[in-house]
A and B are shown apart, each in its own frame.
Chain A
């Protein structure tokens, strides 16, 4: 995959997740950051830092992006969420509009 087609998402602890742009665009917030004309550093470097989102939650978010893409293409599987992650994940999802 070419570098232009990927984005780097960085968690509060500094862990980096490199995922495809298409997957990241599942989030309306990230889509806005990456597509808004000029100004945002995110647009140029393809990097987004989330100081509020922990590594565990960001990993789950990335999994969700890929699951969501597959689901929209007709692969109907369940997305399992551990009950102990629900609150934090809910807040992150709310922030990311996903």
Chain B
């Protein structure tokens, strides 16, 4: 938001100032100018310096008269020396050093007595312990404090009761006991309390009633089974708990807007939603939960976001979802028993649906024609399904109707995920007319250069993932990428050589290319989001690859799906072997030919990088 307010020339100045270490040297001695810099310009300049990795402790010092908000999240170099400089910032209002592993308790000593600091994020600074809390107690202005997954014990947490101005307190993953929670009762200004993974039980949960302003509560992964009525509550997370009753009580029902019950087991399913005021509920996540009956949905007319993925819902309960109807914008039905028939029933009831995920369901190509009746759709995920891309008409003639053609009606379609489906070069043909498409994900061993070339006409496409495809060097060489393309993911393109990829990157310097053999970033481009170029190394990207076999499909809906609750659990997938689908093109080659191909590409890989071979499944 801050950046949008910057005028064009200001932006150009900041870029010029952060061009290189030498340019920094040209202005860093202009003390008087630096002192006059308005806070928002100082913050902005500092933010760019951090992103460009041009900042070091003594340079930090020049901003001490004006910086108000500093974000250093994940910067490994931040240590006691940095904190010593930061402690001298007179007007610092917000400091984020989350994931800075070298920040210790003693480093926090420098912050003692800061007079303006209101927000401090120390999440996952594992070396911050109870001793560090003693330093923070002198900062009475603190209003927001994030301490999840630090080295605190119950004793250290109990000290926080003297920070009377706290309205946001994140104690996720810390050993908060019922006793400690009781000692925090004096924090009557608390609005946001995160206690995921703590040792709080039903006895502690009873204390929560005493916080008069509590509107956000996260009790995921705790032993709480009965949560009493908290009349100010708006957001509640009880994911992965075993629940007997929620908000039981008769007076003043909580004005709940968001509730997450992902992976929750219900002891008493019939009464699960009995005490919940459903008229305001806009967000409901019951993915992976034990629910088997979904009648409660008929009461929830205000829902905008509904996640039923990996639940027991199927075509038999589809009427309940249809009842929710008009306000629904985001619907996740992935990994359920839904089939095309179910989608057919939903079709006319979801006029405002923007995001639909049916990944891993039993749908076939008929579902696509039903989707074309949901006029507001922007994001569609139909990966891991039996979608073939055509419908065989029953009749005298054996005409094939290309099912994706139906999606041409969707004028807002920005994002389409067709990974792990049965589509082929011929059936993808209609895609070339989807002019609004920004993200496209394909992953299929039967796709060739033909598909790649068809996509040249998508003038708004920025992210294209075409994985495990049989792309050739010459095919890539002759590919004319859309002008807007920023990212091309070619993972699993096993016929491509490093030379061909480098050649492509040289011709199209604006495009970032991902492949096992090389990760190439646009040379000196300042990226507004994501890590700085220098941080993206080959190995780092491979590690990421291993943790998450389908980064595209996750980030696909990510930005939109993310909801204001801070999900503290990271799902780390350890299954990372590249799976080739049934129509593996390698079957066309003899074993000898394959070995030859294998060595010709491996000889180009870095000899010491055995992980490259692992990731390709060629060990």
Chain A residues within 8 Å of B, Cβ to Cβ: 28, 61, 64, 68, 79-84, 86-91, 93-94, 96-98
Could you list 19 A-B pairs, sorted by A, with CB under 8 Å? A68-B8, A81-B13, A82-B26, A83-B27, A84-B26, A86-B14, A86-B23, A86-B26, A86-B27, A87-B27, A87-B37, A88-B33, A89-B9, A90-B17, A91-B33, A91-B36, A93-B13, A94-B10, A98-B7
> Quick one: given A68-B8, A89-B9, are A94 and B27 in contact (CB under 8 Å)?
no
From 202 to 237 in chain B, residues with beta carbon under 8 angstroms from any chain A beta carbon are none
Q: How large is the interface on B (under 10, 10 to 19, 20 to 34, 35 or more residues)?
A: 20 to 34
A-B pairs with CB below 8 Å: how many?
68
Digitize B45-75: 1 where CB-to-A-CB distance is under 8 Å, 0 elsewhere.
1000000000000000000000000000000
Cα(A82)–Cα(B209), bound, Å: 60
Cα(A88)–Cα(B41), bound, Å: 11
Q: Closest 6 A-B residue pairs measured CB to CB?
A: A83-B23, A93-B9, A83-B26, A86-B17, A81-B16, A90-B13
B16 touches A97 (CB 8 A): no
Q: In the assembled complex, how far is the CB of residue B382 from the closest CB belonging to chain A, in whole angstroms?
A: 39
Cα(A93)–Cα(B7), bound, Å: 7
Residue in B19, B27, B34, B37 whose beta carbon sits within 8 Å of that of A84 in the complex: B27
A83 touches B33 (CB 8 A): no
Q: Which residues of B contact A90 (CB under 8 A)?
A: 9-10, 13-14, 17, 37, 41, 45
Q: Which residues of A contact B7 (CB under 8 A)?
A: 28, 93-94, 96-98
Q: Which residues of A contact B38 (CB under 8 A)?
A: 91, 94
Q: Does B22 contact A (CB under 8 A)?
A: yes
Q: In the assembled complex, how far is the CB of residue A75 from the closest CB belonging to chain B, in whole angstroms?
A: 15
Cα(A89)–Cα(B215), bound, Å: 45
Cα(A79)–Cα(B11), bound, Å: 12
Q: Which residues of B contact A81 (CB under 8 A)?
A: 12-13, 16
Q: DSSP majority for the A interface?
A: helix
Cα(A87)–Cα(B17), bound, Å: 8
Q: Which residues of B contact A68 (CB under 8 A)?
A: 8-9
Looking at A68, A80, A86, A98, the one whose CB has the most chain B CB atoms below 10 A away is A86
Looking at A61, A80, A91, the one whose CB has the most chain B CB atoms below 10 A away is A91
A86 closest partner in B (C-beta): B17
Q: Does B30 contact A (CB under 8 A)?
A: yes
Q: Which residues of A contact B45 (CB under 8 A)?
A: 90
Given contacts A80-B16, A87-B17, 15 further A-B contacts (CB under 8 A): A68-B9, A79-B12, A83-B17, A83-B26, A86-B17, A86-B26, A87-B27, A87-B30, A90-B10, A90-B14, A90-B17, A90-B45, A93-B7, A93-B9, A98-B7
Q: Which residues of B contact A96 (CB under 8 A)?
A: 7, 9
Q: In the assembled complex, how far is the CB of residue A3 from the closest CB belonging to chain B, in whole angstroms?
A: 27
Q: In the assembled complex, how far is the CB of residue B180 from the closest CB belonging to chain A, in whole angstroms?
A: 47
A98 touches B9 (CB 8 A): yes
Q: In the assembled complex, how far is the CB of residue B22 from the closest CB belonging to chain A, in whole angstroms?
A: 7
Cα(A68)–Cα(B41), bound, Å: 21
Cα(A95)–Cα(B285), bound, Å: 47
Q: In the assembled complex, how far is the CB of residue B5 from the closest CB belonging to chain A, in whole angstroms?
A: 10
Q: In the assembled complex, how far is the CB of residue B81 from the closest CB belonging to chain A, in whole angstroms?
A: 25
B13 touches A86 (CB 8 A): yes
Q: In the assembled complex, how far is the CB of residue B363 from the closest CB belonging to chain A, in whole angstroms?
A: 46
Q: Which residues of A contact B22 (CB under 8 A)?
A: 83
Cα(A79)–Cα(B9), bound, Å: 9
Cα(A84)–Cα(B27), bound, Å: 5
Q: Which residues of A contact B36 (CB under 8 A)?
A: 91
A61 closest partner in B (C-beta): B9
Q: Which residues of A contact B30 (CB under 8 A)?
A: 84, 87-88
Q: Which residues of B contact A91 (CB under 8 A)?
A: 33, 36-38, 41
Cα(A97)–Cα(B38), bound, Å: 14
Cα(A28)–Cα(B8), bound, Å: 12
Cα(A79)–Cα(B12), bound, Å: 8
Q: Which residues of A contact B23 (CB under 8 A)?
A: 83, 86
Q: Which residues of A contact B41 (CB under 8 A)?
A: 90-91, 94
A95 closest partner in B (C-beta): B38
Q: In the assembled complex, how far is the CB of residue A85 from the closest CB belonging to chain B, in whole angstroms?
A: 8
Q: In the assembled complex, how far is the CB of residue A69 from the closest CB belonging to chain B, in whole angstroms?
A: 12
Looking at B7, B13, B38, the one whose CB has the most chain A CB atoms below 10 A away is B13
Cα(A68)–Cα(B10), bound, Å: 13
Cα(A86)–Cα(B12), bound, Å: 9
Residue in B8, B9, B10, B16 whose beta carbon sits within 8 Å of that of A83 in the complex: B16
Q: In the assembled complex, how far is the CB of residue A52 from the closest CB belonging to chain B, in whole angstroms?
A: 9
Q: In the assembled complex, how far is the CB of residue A27 from the closest CB belonging to chain B, in whole angstroms?
A: 9
A87 touches B34 (CB 8 A): yes
Q: In the assembled complex, how far is the CB of residue B500 from the closest CB belonging to chain A, in whole angstroms?
A: 30
B9 touches A86 (CB 8 A): no
Q: Which residues of B contact A97 (CB under 8 A)?
A: 7
B19 closest partner in A (C-beta): A83
Q: Which residues of B contact A86 (CB under 8 A)?
A: 13-14, 16-17, 23, 26-27
Cα(A9)–Cα(B14), bound, Å: 25
A78 closest partner in B (C-beta): B12
Q: In the assembled complex, how far is the CB of residue B40 from the closest CB belonging to chain A, in whole angstroms?
A: 8
Q: In the assembled complex, how far is the CB of residue B364 from the closest CB belonging to chain A, in whole angstroms?
A: 48
A65 closest partner in B (C-beta): B9
Cα(A82)–Cα(B27), bound, Å: 10
B8 touches A89 (CB 8 A): no
Q: Which residues of B contact A89 (CB under 8 A)?
A: 9, 13
Q: In the assembled complex, how far is the CB of residue B464 from the closest CB belonging to chain A, in whole angstroms?
A: 25
Looking at B27, B30, B45, the one whose CB has the most chain A CB atoms below 10 A away is B27
Cα(A79)–Cα(B27), bound, Å: 19
Q: Which residues of B contact A84 (CB under 8 A)?
A: 26-27, 30
Cα(A83)–Cα(B28), bound, Å: 10
Q: Which residues of B contact A28 (CB under 8 A)?
A: 7
Looking at B7, B14, B23, B30, the one whose CB has the most chain A CB atoms below 10 A away is B7
Q: Which residues of A contact B14 (CB under 8 A)?
A: 86, 90
B19 touches A93 (CB 8 A): no
Cα(A79)–Cα(B16), bound, Å: 10
Q: Which residues of A contact B33 (CB under 8 A)?
A: 87-88, 91
Cα(A91)–Cα(B41), bound, Å: 8
Q: Which residues of B contact A64 (CB under 8 A)?
A: 9
Q: In the assembled complex, how far is the CB of residue A33 from the closest CB belonging to chain B, in whole angstroms?
A: 16
Looking at A28, A68, A79, A94, the one whose CB has the most chain B CB atoms below 10 A away is A94
Cα(A28)–Cα(B9), bound, Å: 12
